């Protein structure tokens, strides 16, 4: 696949930074450009999620593709307190300030989009724009979706916050669990195995503390982040930067009034449903994603 070959030729640099008490791994390219985009992956992946869009982005922008804490080759501290979105957003803030960057665009998928949302609320002066991919606000998912809707698309949100049981069922069966997640999109697992990325996802998932950290991410969201977002919604604390929303017609947001929902918590919202796409947008439909993202970013950085 041409996009995979282009990615191999990008000559990205692997970097590590000590931020917020942990070691954060990220890759960097396009350092010659003045404007920066920060890519934040989702669950259960790593920075490699972005392999099909990085080659185009590095032609236009400085690109930082980060492994969130608990994922990839970043540190995986124990306990749930470190996995609040406020703390994970502080990791990214510390990285941005460590690199002496000014306003950045945060492009996040899934869990990474949740970190990007929190970053925009906590550090608005450092945000030029956001692109949030295939997520609804955390509080909307927990408070508005029916049990039937949650069981179909968000079952792992419930399963993974249960104490101890997920660890007992996943340990030694990591590949089975990962495979079940990716099989939500027909043929995606086969694609991942064909281009070798499946082996990378299995490697990081099996690292010491790997799947435990992911479980703690979801547990922190339910126990610690959710009450905070409920309060902020009542206070009308909103995202005030331009926000592009992208989601797949067959993904978790299918059938939801996505733009209407997000306009309750963000003031400058645009977006589009991507045809023939499931949840894993950057891997399933990278070209369609870039068709929407490129003009959005051009408009942001030309004004």
Please confirm, yes or no, whether 110 is among the known catalytic residues. yes
**pLDDT (tens digit per residue) in 85-102:** 999 999 999 999 999 998
**pLDDT (tens digit per residue) in 220-254:** 999 999 999 999 999 999 999 999 999 999 999 98
Question: Could you tell me if 189 and 198 are in contact, meaning their C-beta atoms sit under 8 angstroms apart?
Answer: yes
Say which residues have a Cβ less than 8 Å from residue 238's Cβ, sequence separation at least 6. 265, 266, 267
The answer, yes or no, to whether residue 77 has pLDDT greater than 60, is yes
Residue 214 confidence class, pLDDT cut points 50, 70, 90? very high
**pLDDT (tens digit per residue) in 26-65:** 999 999 999 999 999 999 999 999 999 999 999 999 999 9
From the list 110, 134, 217, 225, the catalytic residue is 110
**pLDDT (tens digit per residue) in 251-295:** 999 889 999 999 999 999 999 999 999 999 999 999 999 999 999
Question: Beta-strand (E) ranges in 7-164?
Answer: 13-19, 22-29, 36-40, 62-66, 104-109, 127-133
Question: Could you tell me if 65 and 24 are in contact, meaning their C-beta atoms sit under 8 angstroms apart?
Answer: no
Say what the pTM is.
0.96
Please confirm, yes or no, whether 279 is among the known catalytic residues. yes
């Amino acid at each position: 696949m041409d996009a995979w070959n282009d990615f191999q030729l990008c000559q990205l640099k692997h970097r590590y930074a000590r931020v917020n008490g942990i070691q954060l791994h990220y890759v960097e390219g396009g350092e010659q450009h003045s404007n920066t985009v920060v890519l934040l992956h989702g669950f259960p992946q790593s920075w490699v999620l972005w392999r099909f869009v990085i080659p185009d982005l590095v032609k236009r922008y400085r690109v930082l593709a980060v492994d969130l804490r608990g994922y990839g080759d970043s540190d995986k501290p124990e306990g749930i307190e470190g996995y609040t979105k406020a703390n994970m957003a502080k990791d990214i803030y510390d990285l941005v300030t460590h690199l002496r960057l000014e306003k950045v665009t945060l492009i996040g998928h899934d869990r990474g989009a949740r970190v990007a949302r929190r970053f925009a609320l906590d550090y608005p002066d450092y945000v030029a724009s956001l692109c949030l991919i295939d997520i609804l606000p955390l509080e909307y998912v927990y408070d508005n979706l029916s049990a039937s809707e949650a069981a179909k698309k968000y079952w792992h949100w419930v399963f993974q916050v249960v104490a101890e049981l997920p660890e007992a069922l996943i340990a030694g069966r990591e590949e089975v669990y990962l495979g079940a997640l990716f099989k939500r999109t027909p043929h995606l697992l086969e694609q991942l195995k064909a281009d070798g990325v499946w082996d990378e996802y299995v490697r990081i998932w099996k690292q010491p503390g790997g799947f435990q950290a992911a479980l703690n991410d979801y547990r922190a969201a339910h126990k610690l982040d959710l009450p905070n977002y409920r309060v902020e919604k009542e206070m009308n604390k909103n995202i005030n930067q331009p926000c592009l929303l992208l989601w797949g017609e067959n993904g978790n947001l299918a059938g939801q009034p996505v733009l209407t929902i997000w306009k309750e918590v963000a003031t400058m919202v645009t977006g589009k449903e991507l045809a023939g796409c499931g949840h894993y947008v950057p891997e399933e439909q990278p070209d369609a994603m870039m068709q929407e993202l490129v003009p959005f970013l051009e408009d942001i950085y030309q004004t």
